[in-house]
Amino acid sequence: MSKFAAALFFAILATSTCKEFSCLEGDTHKEKPSSEPDMHECTLYSKSSCCNADFTVQLDRSPVVQVNNSYWNRCGNLSKSCEDYTKKIECFYRCSPHAAHWINPNYTAAIQFVPLCQNFCDDWYEACKEDLTCVRNWLTDWEWDENGENHCKSDCSPYSEVFANGTELCQTLWGNSFKVSESSCLCLQMNEKDAVAIKYILSESSEESSSISSSEERACHKKLLDSEHLNGEEWTETT
């Protein structure tokens, strides 16, 4: 191996390692993920968390009214089903040790293009379609006051009138933080299945690929089935 190739290899390795053991640079993020056994919510990430357990106290109630300076109830309290999905997204951003793999290069406290499963987005839409919102993009469309608190600039409308479907919801509500994956396995569902999917998503064979091959898809499904001892009928493989 030439000196240049060796230097490039170790630079790539260092970058990968840095992402693997670091967190986003948001105001509630730790420098590095670590165990948080006393988490009130977001327990999916308790073994390796980028947020402190104290943060999750804000989510350990229903209805959730406020998370830091952001109010979730500007159009009334979210329904329990919609709130549960909103918590999943909040927990991933604040606490997941994997979120930094999708760090926004222009803003290191943010994420971009995290691949979500289509069924997760569709279920999220169904859970929230009758709830009300006054913004399409929760990151940019609010009016912020001098205390950093969010307020509506428009009238409240049902999610079903603001977003056409689950795809639009996932790819709009948090700006470009998320995208709907073309794969039904190499994607996140914000549950325990992500532990298998993430390993495959971040593998060299599928990293940043513009298209998902059928072999990768089948291999991902097999790993998921093997790890959970699921029946093959519970998953439909993409051919």
Q: Which tens digit of pLDDT belongs to each residue from 17-56?
A: 344 568 999 999 999 999 999 999 999 999 999 999 999 9
Q: Which tens digit of pLDDT belongs to each residue from 72-103?
A: 999 999 999 999 999 999 999 999 999 999 99
Question: Average of pLDDT values for 159-163?
Answer: 98
Q: How confident is the model at residue 218 (pLDDT cuts 50, 70, 90)?
A: confident
Q: What does the pLDDT read at residue 228? A: 63
Pick from 83, 101, 98: nearest CA to 41:
83
Specify the higher pLDDT residue, 236 or 116: 116
Does this model's pTM top 0.85? no
C-alpha neighbours within 13 Å on the C-beta side of residue 203: 16
Q: What does the pLDDT read at residue 13? A: 36
Domain ranges for the chain, please list them.
Answer: 29-207+216-225
Q: Of 9-13, 107-111, 119-123, 132-136, where does mean pLDDT reach its minimum?
A: 9-13
**104, two tokens:** 């926004």
Distance CA 215, CA 119 (A): 21
Q: Work out whether strand 49-51 and strand 29-34 pair parallel, antiparallel, or are unpaired.
A: antiparallel
